[in-house]
Amino acid sequence: MSRTYVAAFRRIVCCIVVVTSCTGSASDKQSAKVDREQARTMLRLVAADVEKHYYDPKLHGVNWEERLRQAKENIEKADSLSSAISEVAALLDSLNDSHTYFVPPPRPYTRDLGLDLTIIGSRCYVVRVSPESDAEKKGVKPGDEISAINEFPVTRQTLWRMRYIFNQLQPLPGLRLTILGGAGQQRQVDVMAKADFSTRVKYPLRFGVNQRVRDLESQRALMRARCYETGSELLVVKFPEFIFAPHEVDSIIDRMQKHRGVVLDLRGNPGGMEDTLDRLLAGVFENDLKVYDRKSRAGTKEIFVKGRHRSAFTGRLVVLIDSESASASELFARVVQIQKRGFIVGDRSAGMVMESIGYPHEVGLDSDVYYGSFITHADLIMSDGKSLEHVGVEPDITLLPTGQDIANKLDPVMAKAAALVGGKLTPEEAGAAFPPVEGSTK
């Protein structure tokens, strides 16, 4: 196994340190010993999780003992808890597995930059900017192309690691964006984040469980499926994720049956529950079919889905995917593609397709603060004998929006999909089909 991935991980972390140029106080240095002890405990327990539960007992040939030894040495040199626990994350990153990663203890605060980035093809674009955010005030706009964050180049391979580092491992008060302009010109903008209490602090301060229930209900409302239809000709269903109750999926399938053509928009969908995937697949196939082989330490098991027969949707079908479509959404798209059930349109998907289980640990005795890991317990091999991990789904029709499309709120991808199923939708209409929901980044 190459050292490329863990090296890239450490370079991004180093880049944070260089750009922020923070110097610890005397009290910070005095607490470094305690921080290192906590990090050593985290490293020991998380490494044990991997050794006990990872689906491949050979760990892909990674020299695990050497990586573990190096992580221990680096923790001893760390001058902060953030730097120390980054070594735990880097150890898991060495497996180069999308579903195996370290979950650090929650911070007492969260930071929101007020913008969203995504990869389109091989380029990174701003797709959302929050009103009144520092990003908006400094002229950052949807459609801007970003070549670097904190002076580290942005690619398909690095963006998700940057999100993980900046959002969970080492949240920063701001980031430096390098924005490309015309004729190869570029400018740098330092965007400051909005800070808020994390759930760890917020719930005790704001009526505890009642506030938590309200937050969960609000988040659930944001993640509901949304529909756009034009008579019996066309139905577009946008799935932000694959976490739905059985009756919700059945209701969507029943609605699909009333239309001649259906577009399922899985762009930005990170995946979700196996039950939702199976039920939605069953709804678009009349007959039973094999979905994949689940390969784990216990052996290989064939996974099938029972079709809904006469109650399945049998009309024209298009599935939209992009670089943010991951896990269960990739599985759905690939099954449709292999079975030639419909067209896959858009951008190559994320290539993050495994199954994992979370293993939590407490920071200390009688503590309500947790950390832990997600460990891959199975690889999924499609019916064509191939894995989607690091590969993704190549669309039947590759169609990429431009920065100008994003800036003008146009969606030529959905417009093309509508035409493929016999519907009529202009890029302008498609771009307005699913207006942003307050509080949502989808």
- Supply the range of the domain harboring residue 71: 4-103
Q: Exposed, middle or buried by CB within 10 Å (0-12, 13-18, 19+), for 45?
A: middle
Residues of the chain with pLDDT under 50: 1-5, 16-26, 203, 205-207, 441-442
How far is C-alpha 123 from the chain's CA centre? 17
In a domain, 369, yes or no: no
In a domain, 380, yes or no: no
- Strand pairing report for 123-129 and 115-120: antiparallel
On whether both 165 and 275 belong to a single domain, the answer is: no
pTM reported for the whole predicted model: 0.89
**DSSP label at 166?**
I
Alpha helix locations (H) across 257-411? 274-283, 328-338, 403-407
On whether both 125 and 179 belong to a single domain, the answer is: yes
Indicate the angle between helix axes 26-53 and 81-93, nearest 10 degrees. 20
Task: Give whole-number Cα distances, 369 to 28, 159, 213, 366, in Å.
Answer: 21, 28, 19, 9
| Of 292, 335, 304, the residue nearest 317 (C-alpha) | 335
User: Rounded to an integer, what distance in angstroms lies between the CA atom of residue 390 and that of residue 1?
Assistant: 14
Per-residue pLDDT at 195? 86
User: Rounded to an integer, what distance in angstroms lies between the CA atom of residue 302 and that of residue 281?
Assistant: 16
In a domain, 211, yes or no: no
On whether both 141 and 44 belong to a single domain, the answer is: no
Length in residues, the chain: 442
pLDDT in tens, 265-289: 999 999 999 999 999 999 999 999 9
Per-residue pLDDT at 368? 63
User: Rounded to an integer, what distance in angstroms lies between the CA atom of residue 181 and that of residue 144?
Assistant: 8
Domain boundary among 103, 137, 160: 103
On whether both 154 and 179 belong to a single domain, the answer is: yes
Asked whether the beta carbons of 418 and 236 are under 8 A apart, the reply is yes
In a domain, 376, yes or no: no
User: Rounded to an integer, what distance in angstroms lies between the CA atom of residue 121 and that of residue 401?
Assistant: 9
Per-residue pLDDT at 22? 40
In DSSP terms, 219 is beta-bridged to: none
User: Rounded to an integer, what distance in angstroms lies between the CA atom of residue 392 and that of residue 352?
Assistant: 7
Q: What is the dihedral of CA 426, 431, 432, 433, to 10 degrees?
A: 80
On whether both 18 and 93 belong to a single domain, the answer is: yes
| Of 417, 354, 424, 276, the residue nearest 101 (C-alpha) | 354
Give the distance between the most distant pair of CA atoms in the chain.
72
Q: Which long-range contacts (CB under 8 A, 24 or more apart) does 199-203 make?
A: 199/106, 200/106, 200/107, 200/108, 200/369, 201/108, 201/109
Asked whether the beta carbons of 322 and 406 are under 8 A apart, the reply is no
- We report the CATH number of the domain holding residue 185 as 2.30.42.10
pLDDT in tens, 399-431: 999 999 999 999 999 999 999 999 999 999 999
Per-residue pLDDT at 53? 97
- Strand pairing report for 109-112 and 226-230: unpaired
| Of 298, 305, 315, 309, the residue nearest 280 (C-alpha) | 305
User: Rounded to an integer, what distance in angstroms lies between the CA atom of residue 322 and that of residue 60?
Assistant: 28
In a domain, 437, yes or no: no
- Strand pairing report for 343-346 and 397-398: parallel
On whether both 331 and 411 belong to a single domain, the answer is: yes
On whether both 399 and 305 belong to a single domain, the answer is: yes
In a domain, 373, yes or no: no
On whether both 94 and 119 belong to a single domain, the answer is: no
On whether both 139 and 179 belong to a single domain, the answer is: yes
On whether both 24 and 124 belong to a single domain, the answer is: no
User: Rounded to an integer, what distance in angstroms lies between the CA atom of residue 231 and that of residue 421?
Assistant: 14
User: Rounded to an integer, what distance in angstroms lies between the CA atom of residue 165 and that of residue 182?
Assistant: 30
On whether both 50 and 181 belong to a single domain, the answer is: no
Backbone phi and psi for residue 41, each to the nearest 5 degrees, phi listed first? -65, -45
Q: Which residues contact 311 (CB under 8 A, 6 or more apart)?
A: 253, 257
3-state secondary structure 4-31: HHHHHHHHHHHHHHHHHCCCCCHHHHHH
Per-residue pLDDT at 3? 44
The number of distinct structural domains making up the chain is 3
Neighbour-count burial for 292-328, b at 16+ CB within 10 Å, e otherwise: bbbbbeeeeeebebebbeeebbebbbbbbbbbbbbbb
| Of 376, 355, 223, the residue nearest 291 (C-alpha) | 355
